[in-house]
Chain A
């Protein structure tokens, strides 16, 4: 019985910690926005849940109707959530291990195919 209790308690504790590292690697600009207290995403949980749908909706609008606003554009995501390598001043690819996109996707075990075509880094001098 004691063993079960230990297992149960450790699961409980680890689940708490699993939520803590949720924002492990937010990306350079996104973390500075968060630190400044500004609200960029009204509800992060909606973004977390719905971002595939939002991106899909946006891509059709952009490609087929020519509406090139920044709202929910993949370019917009990458520009905020990319990290810079301080030593060589280059941006890491967002789909590289430990970076914003792959971090979460790996955790939930969902593969994503955006970056076989889309640029993974921020173009220098864009922001």
Chain B
């Protein structure tokens, strides 16, 4: 067998090997990206919501509440009184007394940058993730409900009864405080929160507030938006336009 390699053969072999390597490597990269991330969340991102109250109808809000209940498994508490029942997301009517203009709001945890609930928590159960999502670590929660009193948005609820058949991704139990998690289990998978998905129009936008190419960032640059109780300087992650 002739051992000398002419130029054509060399190029041929090189081409074949390169193609092979590229195919295998891309396969490996794709599977790595497809699997769950092992990298901790960072403060390079800040998740937020923009709710356009002009576009958001009352049925949209009902749909959002339903989607939240379905996703997180709350709302079926039978032994709690009306004031004890959890409300992770609420329908709120705001009326301008002068013009009688009524706006409908969907109010949930505002995922503040400076959350008062985290400040008051004695056990560090109430906490903010690096990417701005405010959560309750129910392993540490002792049910003192300081956070519920500290929250200016009345966003948190307390579980008053023994629960069964919780959702797999959302452990809930008697004696702990809970609130909107911005569907953190979905966000970590690269999906959007359930309430955002339930609205057909673009009335609710979810995204990374820091990312200049994201829809939420670009919309916030154009439209006039506000934070509820902006006077408290909490820098909320949930913004409203049209109020």
**Which A residues lie at the B interface, using CB under 8 A?**
56, 59, 61, 63-70, 75, 116-121, 123, 126
Supposing A117-B138, A119-B165, A119-B167 touch, asked if A67 and B37 sit within 8 A by C-beta, the answer is yes
Distance to closest chain A CB from B99 (angstroms): 44
A69 and B139 contact, CB distance less than 8 A: no
Contact among A66, A116, A121, A126 with B40 in the assembled complex (CB-CB below 8 Å): A66
Closest residue on chain B to residue A69 by CB atoms: B36
Interchain CB contact (< 8 A) of B38 among A67, A117, A118, A119: A67
Given contacts A117-B173, A119-B167, A119-B168, contact A66 B162 (CB under 8 A): no
Is there contact, CB below 8 Å, between A123 and B188?
A: no
A64→B36 contact, CB < 8 A: no
Contact of B40 with A65 in the complex, beta carbons under 8 Å: yes
CB distance from A109 to the nearest CB of B (A): 22
Tell me, rounded to whole Å, the shortest Cβ–Cβ distance linking A45 to chain B: 26
Q: B40 contacts A67, CB within 8 Å?
A: yes
Contact: A66 with B139, CB < 8 Å?
Answer: no
* Identity of the chain A residue whose Cβ is nearest the Cβ of B187 in the assembled complex: A66
Nearest to A117 among chain B residues (CB) is B173
Provided the pairs A116-B173, A119-B166, A119-B167 are in contact, do residues A68 and B185 lie with their beta carbons within 8 angstroms? yes
**With an 8 A cutoff between CB atoms, is B239 at the interface?**
no
Q: In the complex, which residues of chain B have a beta carbon less than 8 angstroms from the beta carbon of A117?
A: 138, 163, 166, 171-173, 176
Q: Is B174 an interface residue (CB 8 A)?
A: yes
Is B142 interfacial (CB-CB < 8 Å)?
Answer: no
Which 7 pairs, one residue from A and one from B, show the smallest C-beta to C-beta distance?
A: A117-B173, A65-B40, A117-B171, A66-B41, A118-B171, A116-B173, A119-B166
Q: Check A66–B38 contact: CB distance below 8 A.
A: no
Give the nearest-CB partner of B138 in chain A.
A117
B129 part of interface (Cβ distance < 8 Å)? yes
Interchain CB contact under 8 A, B188 and A64: no
**Is B71 in contact with chain A by the CB < 8 A criterion?**
no
Given contacts A65-B40, A123-B168, contact A116 B174 (CB under 8 A): yes
Question: With A and B bound together, what is the CA distance between A66 and B39 in angstroms?
Answer: 8
The CA of A11 and the CA of B47, in the complex, are separated in Å by: 62
What are 13 pairs between A and B in contact, CB < 8 Å?
A64-B137, A66-B37, A66-B129, A67-B40, A68-B37, A116-B162, A117-B171, A118-B166, A118-B171, A119-B165, A119-B166, A123-B168, A126-B168
Closest to A121 in B: B165
Measured CB to CB, the nearest residue on chain B to A122 is: B168
B-chain residues with CB within 8 Å of residue A61 when the two chains form the complex: 40
What residues of B have a CB within 8 angstroms of the CB of A116 in the complex? Answer: 162, 173-174
Asked whether A75 lies within 8 Å of B168 as measured between CB atoms, the reply is: yes
Interface centre among A61, A68, A123 (most CB of B within 10 A): A68
Tell me how far the C-beta of B145 lies from the nearest C-beta in chain A, rounded to whole angstroms: 17
Residue B228 CB within 8 A of the other chain = no
Residues of chain B lying within 8 A (CB to CB) of residue A65:
40-41, 129-130
A63 vs B139: C-alpha distance when bound (angstroms): 10
